[in-house]
Each structure stands twice: as C-alpha cells, then as structure tokens.
Structure 1
Amino acid sequence: MVWEKYNAVTVDRRYRIIVIHRTDLTIGFEARLPNKALFEQYLAFLRTVLPEVTTYREEVWKW
C-alpha cells in the first residue's frame, strides 16, 4: 500500500497546510486546505490510512 511509505506529518494550523513525508522530510507532498473544517477532516482521514507509527509534528511549514 502506498500510504505505508509515509511516516511523518507536519501539521501547520496557522496556514492550514498538512505535509505528508517519508522519514526524509524533503520527500512528500503538501495539501493547502481552504478552511478549518476541511483541514480537520483531511487530518482525520490521514490518521486512518497512515501507519500507527506515524509522527505528527505541529509547526509552521517553512517551505
């Protein structure tokens, strides 16, 4: 399954950005969401498909 390759998530609540990474933080993809409700819904979805060992970091996305 593709989702198993990703094991880190950066959650930027200030700008409503969620970035899904592999261990190497330079590999992954970001989602910029238009509102808080969709942001929370997407984050909840990720928690169901990503491995249990996934690390979630809350910080402002710098890139």
Structure 2
Amino acid sequence: MKRRGSQIDGSFIYRTVVNSASGNDDFQIEVFRSREEMENNASPYKVLSSLDELLDFIE
C-alpha cells in the first residue's frame, strides 16, 4: 500500500509504504524533494521509519 502526500508549503513529497506480509504492519516514509523524483523512482532524499522521526524532520 502506498500513499502520497506533500508538505503544506510544497517543499517535500512523502510516500508511505506499508508492508503487512509478516503479520506486523511495518511502514516507512520516503521523503522526496520533488514529485518528479518520486515518479521517476529516484532514491529518496530521506527514509523515516517512525512518526517521531517524521515529526523531528518537519520541525
């Protein structure tokens, strides 16, 4: 499952990847600098593995 979103000011694009194959819902948040990078499957600018990391990143 993938979700797409963007930061309020449009500086970053986020893609959430959820893997529930192992019985546990593991997720990661991939941060891209532009929609083009995300759509062209470029390496993410940053990969976050928790909501705390996302909040720290946004601050």
TM-score class normalised by the smaller sequence: 0.3 to 0.5
* Greater C-alpha radius of gyration: 2
| Structure with a larger share of its residues in helix | 1
| Structure with a larger share of its residues in strand | 2
Q: Report which structure shows greater RCO (CA 8 Å, sep ≥6).
A: 1
Q: TM-score, normalised by structure 1?
A: 0.41
